[in-house]
Structure 1
């Protein structure tokens, strides 16, 4: 059995559709580590597609909590608040993000949006007592800490290193082998839709700053 593990879609439907097309014949199940919503313009569409995938599971991320009003958006930085204003305006599928689990186990890994609410990067000094498969920081990596393993599958919809690439992981069960993947997707469609929906210029500029020169 092979499972596609992904995170941080952030309303980027073109990236999600490209990912599904790339994995449909390769995997038997899908696990999303949260943050399907916010930033991009297609939060509803992305949720609906994810729950329709075969053997699909969805965990709660911090942006699901924002959209449910469980965490105050006022505590976020101004850029995030600008994205929230646009992305939440047409959001209607709160039913798909209520009462989501925080974590699950897959192949001996604890799968969770992030560890104890921290922003975990490749060089983060952190002590752990188990193997983790996480997202949240939008950077893919595979490192060891305290003799255990942290695999970050990266961001499917908002790769902070290069927005034009969608990152995810594939786990082979029962071997537990994990491969980190990246694919191209039509990012032009994403920016065109954001412009059509009158996203703030600061949001558009932020996304353009993450594109290759």
Structure 2
């Protein structure tokens, strides 16, 4: 079985559709590990699309915030994104059905571990991993392995790459061969920014996207 495992779409329909167009016909299973919503201008549409194609969807911290109706953090930019995106969000019932984690082959897929942002330079020995895991949350794609041989993969972000804003990251996992591949695609992020301008995003949100590096 081949699985497409991804996450942190963050309302970016353009990036989501680009990835699905390339990979959907080549896989047997689709798994989103969370944060379909917020930031980008298409939170509703991304939720609806994944629901319509039978994707197994897990809940991230941004789904939690949308279900509660408030963002718990102190970051002013994230708060601005939340206030703008949440005002027009309607898919509460759908994201309420999202699970916490799912087993795929030899891996447990979930949004993150211990509510932490886990980066390429994180000492994964401190995570006390008990099984192979595939996560997201930090928007950085990487793989690591503990001294005892437990593997950790971060898919990176589909819709809001923190290194290069115009790059889509995800994973293809072949459970039969045990091969797990980190994937990347370049897309036109200006389409997203133009839609944000049409939707009257706050300038602080537009600046966040416009000032990011591109590949």
- What TM bracket, shorter-length normalisation? over 0.9
Q: Counterpart in 1 of 2:166?
A: 164
CA deviations 1:28-86 (Å, max 9, x no partner) are: 11000000000111001001111122x5200000000000017x414331111000111
Q: What TM-score, normalized by structure 1, do the two folds share?
A: 0.95
How many corresponding residue pairs?
211
Q: Counterpart in 2 of 1:20?
A: 20
Q: Counterpart in 2 of 1:188?
A: 190
| Contact 1:15–1:185 (CA under 8 A) maintained in structure 2 | yes
| Contact 1:129–1:146 (CA under 8 A) maintained in structure 2 | no
Gapped regions of structure 2 (runs ≥ 5) = none
Runs (4 or more) in structure 1 with deviation over 2 Å come to none
- In 2, the alpha carbon distance for the partners of 1:41 and 1:7 equals 16
Q: Counterpart in 2 of 1:154?
A: 156
Farther-moved stretch of structure 1 (200-209 vs 159-168): 200-209
The 1:27–1:77 alpha-carbon spacing in structure 2 relative to 1, beyond 3 Å, is same
Say which of 73, 77, 98 aligns to 2:75.
Answer: 77
Q: Counterpart in 2 of 1:59?
A: 58
Q: What TM-score, normalized by structure 2, do the two folds share?
A: 0.94
The 1:33–1:74 alpha-carbon spacing in structure 2 relative to 1, beyond 3 Å, is closer
- In 1, the alpha carbon distance for the partners of 2:173 and 2:74 equals 33
Q: Is 1:33 aligned to residue 33 of structure 2?
A: yes
The 1:30–1:208 alpha-carbon spacing in structure 2 relative to 1, beyond 3 Å, is same
Gapped regions of structure 1 (runs ≥ 5) = none
- In 2, the alpha carbon distance for the partners of 1:166 and 1:82 equals 24
- In 1, the alpha carbon distance for the partners of 2:129 and 2:24 equals 33
The 1:128–1:74 alpha-carbon spacing in structure 2 relative to 1, beyond 3 Å, is closer
